Amino acid sequence: MTGLDFFNPPDPFLIPDSNSYPVHTLGHCILRVETRHQLPDQPCLVLIGLDDFRPVMETRPGEAGFENKPGIPVAGADRIRQYFYELSVAQGFPLLADLGNMIPGQSPDDTQIALASVTSELLELGHFPVWIGGRLDFLRGIFRGFSGRGPTDVSVVSARTHFQTGQEASSYSTVLRQMVEKDSSHLFNLSCLAFQSHWSEPEENALLEQMRFEQLRLGALRQHPEKAEPLLRSSHLSAFSLSAVRWSDADGNPMGGPNGLWAHELCQLCHYAGANDLLRAAFFCDYQAWPEEHGTGAATLAQAVWYLIEGYSQRCDDVPKINSRNFTRYTMALQGSHELIFIKSQKSGRWWLEVTLPVPKGSKRERTLLVPCTYEDYLQASSDELPDRWWRIHQKYLL
């Protein structure tokens, strides 16, 4: 027995058999499996349900005067599936399999261990895990599944930075800080996107800046969405919290608020992430199946998953390679003896910046790192300004 043998099939009332769906839909085409032995030999995207494993709350938190009503035992992952299965299969979509819903452990810690085990096994088999449902707390378990695979970059799209300090802070509000403090052996970079300052403590932003992690506030992202693409392009694991989407576009979203991304903006970010050749797993979370919700939250996450898969189907394998004709190198000298090298893909038009890293003590060998960037970074360097991404990565190796 392994971690890939402990799953329940989706609720047949919400997710009927494949013959119930039109032939052009995902519900008709997706391969439904219950154990790892039924997974195809060839690499595929594997959908896995992950719920909070608690009954639906009887009242909305913080909502005074809300009439008590019994909870509806609907799994959030299955509600997302309900909308996802109705979407069309686009040309070039990869092979998709659905493992069902993971059976929880006896405790939250046991569940985190199971998440790590399942993620690790799927990665070892060459598959791409797509987790749906549950809360962002479970990102730690998924991240642990990357242990032993070298430095890992993580990006999180959420209304909060989840880096709170203080003993009273919950596991939800500290999940990223816990990753940094307790699981950092293979964490290289962390990117927080679409967060809202009114949800963040000043100490959180200061800590993120001190550690040279990337931050892209909601206002900056909405004004310049292209700035998010390089952050998502450098990630091996991306998480998308429904809290990042405004209530008007996503009900069933107790962690959100009146401000946030529009649903189509979340889908654009997911397309960026899916097109990233380095991405190996994704997590869509923080949806709650409330008795009164109308399904916009589940539908939004279902479409977000669809656009991640569409981006995946359009990958063009354009990570820069030595002596490749598909890339153009641009070298420029800045005042102060800095020489910068930019690389542009002729396939996709995407840009990278070559960062020369500090030489470790006792070593004479120079190391370089290719960092995704934008054309605007190139223009900034052309104006004799050192791009922020170069400085941030260089400083990270001095920590």
Q: Which residue has the higher pLDDT, 294 or 303?
A: 303
Indicate the pLDDT class of residue 46, thresholds 50, 70 and 90: very high
Q: Which residue has the higher pLDDT, 111 or 262?
A: 262
CB neighbours (10 Å) of residue 51? 22
Class of domain 3-313: alpha beta
Average pLDDT, the chain: 85
Indicate the pLDDT class of residue 168, thresholds 50, 70 and 90: low
Residue entry with tokens 């992952």: 77
Predicted confidence at residue 322, as pLDDT, reads 63
Predicted confidence at residue 23, as pLDDT, reads 96
Residues 6+ apart with CB under 8 A from 99: 4, 7, 33, 34, 39, 46, 47, 48, 49
Q: What is the mean pLDDT of residues 171-192?
A: 85
Query: Percent of the chain at pLDDT above 70?
Result: 87
pLDDT at 68 over 60: no
Map out the domains of the chain as residue ranges. 3-313, 327-396
Indicate the pLDDT class of residue 27, thresholds 50, 70 and 90: very high
Predicted confidence at residue 279, as pLDDT, reads 97
**Contact (Cβ atoms closer than 8 angstroms) between residue 34 and residue 7:** yes
Q: Which residue has the higher pLDDT, 103 or 397?
A: 103
pLDDT at 63 over 80: no
CB neighbours (10 Å) of residue 138? 25
Residues 6+ apart with CB under 8 A from 338: 386
* Angle of CA points 205, 212, 203, to nearest 5°: 20
pLDDT at 54 over 50: no
pLDDT per residue as tens digits for the range 321-348: 766 788 999 998 887 667 889 999 988 9
CB neighbours (10 Å) of residue 313? 15
Q: Which residue has the higher pLDDT, 363 or 306?
A: 306
Distance CA 78, CA 285 (A): 13
Residues 6+ apart with CB under 8 A from 209: 215
Predicted confidence at residue 180, as pLDDT, reads 84
